[in-house]
Structure 1
């Protein structure tokens, strides 16, 4: 028999897609028109989807793993599930499965594909970030407007994904929802992680899923940054809390650490001399504040706490309005920072 190229083999495997999945991805199971499994290496789970039948959406045998950004065909499944390296071995195994004779001549050159990365890793976060779109005019911008956040100057680390995959913590099918994506970066601006906030399709609220927010990548010490770090900076937990405070003083650089635990561990820019700690009114917020105050003072940095009237500054903004938020923040700032950072919002 004449030599088959990779496309021919992939197409033949696609015509037996379910059989291929049952054999090489035995830890998965059929879900409608797809085979669902943890990943291409046959890990148990529900992240990866293999199309079992040709349709308007694609051909049988094509697969994607939203958690890592990997995708490919059934030749990739054979290679990864068996840990093969050379295409000659992959082709031999495919022909064995298809009951085809082995070639007498040279092996086929294997086409390149996206290399795998660990789920939840920094590289997976990089891939997600590269798939995002500008936030302007998006569902994410509409959502922020509903939260009173209209000024997004200096918010380049916020973008939008129209169909971001969401997986439940336990059993259940993976879903897709619009999402606001925030880049987590280190002090040098390198993306180390990503934070996803899944949204209702009209941007009216968060998506009706639990949890509606998740972070991935290397988070410890890093943060979602708004504006370039200077000698004065504000740091808090949630993205919406920080964005709300920026409505009152857009020029001040601020960071969102995403949680109380990560707030206590943020790294300080080398030229930092004053840090405003944006507190949430809860026990976790108090603990993060106390830890960060101790660290800042130990590094010779002045630490000043900014406290909301209600639960957090976004609640203040929504319930009391921007003028009231400006007034309550103004009296908590160092006098020189009022003129420096609030003059444009006066």
Structure 2
């Protein structure tokens, strides 16, 4: 955050208690904190907002954490949620009114960059830039509920506390316009972000949000994917994030890529280093088609494809129902001896 937004955030932090009394009115002050049920102003004590700097100088006024959901953020997040904003500009305008600040000069508004068209790589990169760290977030809690406990600091995963959701015709008329979301970066072979994959989450259940399509990808996706580790001679490819993250619980040393869908998985671009690709397919017709397509493409480039079959419908189902030891044993049987020695 920089420029006018950073200045507004600073001024809000100087008036943290007044902000809480306005936008978290069902809470109350206790010592140096404002306590309330959650960021949606429910009664309770789970969410705490710091009202003064800590003695060691590390805690800043206005920073908040929800002990139940793992969400955290600043006072702009609180204002956005309280007012139901889906555009950051609306939140800044509300904050200006609260602080009795004049609107920005017309010339400054005209110099502001235009919002990137929806669904473009630029829009995806802006969304990624607006995310927060993944660890200790609701997204990490969601994955832990699916037995995905081990994550690496460099994994391309982030968290957005209020990610816009465009309702479809299959959604209820009163569907909320924004939910917390797990955000994954979709990159090309050079590591440039070309898109993002969003998984909307429900803070009440720490599971997927109750919407018609809780998973969506945006940007340029064809040939690209969510990459874990550097390109290598031996890699694993799978359709979904949870498939790949499940495999990484027992095979952390192998580089992997998630294709975001069966169709996009079949079209992934092959790194020049790749010689053998383990294909983690879902047990459904789309997975069979993707395996056939990618095998034909790989054969033309001299790349060997080795299918990996789950015991249940998918590998996250195996991890959750059978446990990591059984999953590791199943995979060991399917790997070639030369790779088995190196990675198991």
TM-score by length of 2: 0.68
Partner of 1:139: 138
2:211 matches 1:209: yes
- Among 212, 231, 239, the alignment partner of 1:229 is 231
CA distance in 1, matches of 2:303, 2:107: 59
Aligned partner of residue 208 in structure 1, secondary structure? coil
Tell me what 2:315 maps to.
313
* Aligned 8 A contact 2:86 2:178 in 1: no
Structure 2 unaligned regions, length at least 5: 1-77, 94-104
For residues 72 and 137 of structure 1, what CA distance do their matches in structure 2 show? 25
Deviation (angstroms), 1:153: 2.0
Which position in structure 2 is the counterpart of 1:273?
275
2:253 to 251, 254, 259: 251
SS of 1:248 mapped into structure 2? coil
| Contact 1:227-1:252 at 8 Å conserved across structures | yes
Q: Distance in 2 between matches of 1:128 and 1:134?
A: 13
Pairing 1:1-346 to 2, within 5 Å after superposition: 57=79, 66=87, 109-111=107-109, 112-153=111-152, 155-170=154-169, 172=173, 174-202=176-204, 204-342=206-344
Change (3 A) 1:108 1:318: closer
| Distance in structure 1 (CA, Å) of the matches to 2:229 and 2:341 | 18
Larger-Rg structure: 1
Against the structure 1 CA distance between its residues 193 and 70, is the aligned structure 2 distance closer, same or farther, given a 3 Å change threshold?
farther
Deviations 1:71-113 (A, max 9, x none): 6999xxxxxxxxxxxxxxxxxxxxxxxxxxxxxxxx9745421
Over the aligned positions, Cα root-mean-square deviation in angstroms equals 2.4
* Length, aligned pairs only: 250
The answer as to whether partners of 1:63 and 1:73 remain within 8 angstroms in 2 is no
* Stretches of structure 1 lacking an aligned partner (at least 5 in a row): 1-55, 75-106
More divergent stretch after superposition (278-287 vs 196-205) = 196-205
1:331 is paired with a residue whose SS is helix
Judge conservation of contact 2:86–2:164 (CA < 8 Å) in 1.
no
Q: Secondary structure at the match of 1:195?
A: strand
| CA deviation profile, 1:20-50 (whole Å, cap 9, x unmatched) | xxxxxxxxxxxxxxxxxxxxxxxxxxxxxxx
Alpha carbons 2:195, 2:221 under 8 Å: kept: yes
Q: Could you tell me whether the CA contact under 8 Å between 1:71 and 1:114 is conserved in 2?
A: no
Instruction: Give the SS at the match of 2:208.
Output: coil
C-alpha displacement of 1:182:
0.3
- Secondary structure at the counterpart of residue 202 of structure 2: coil
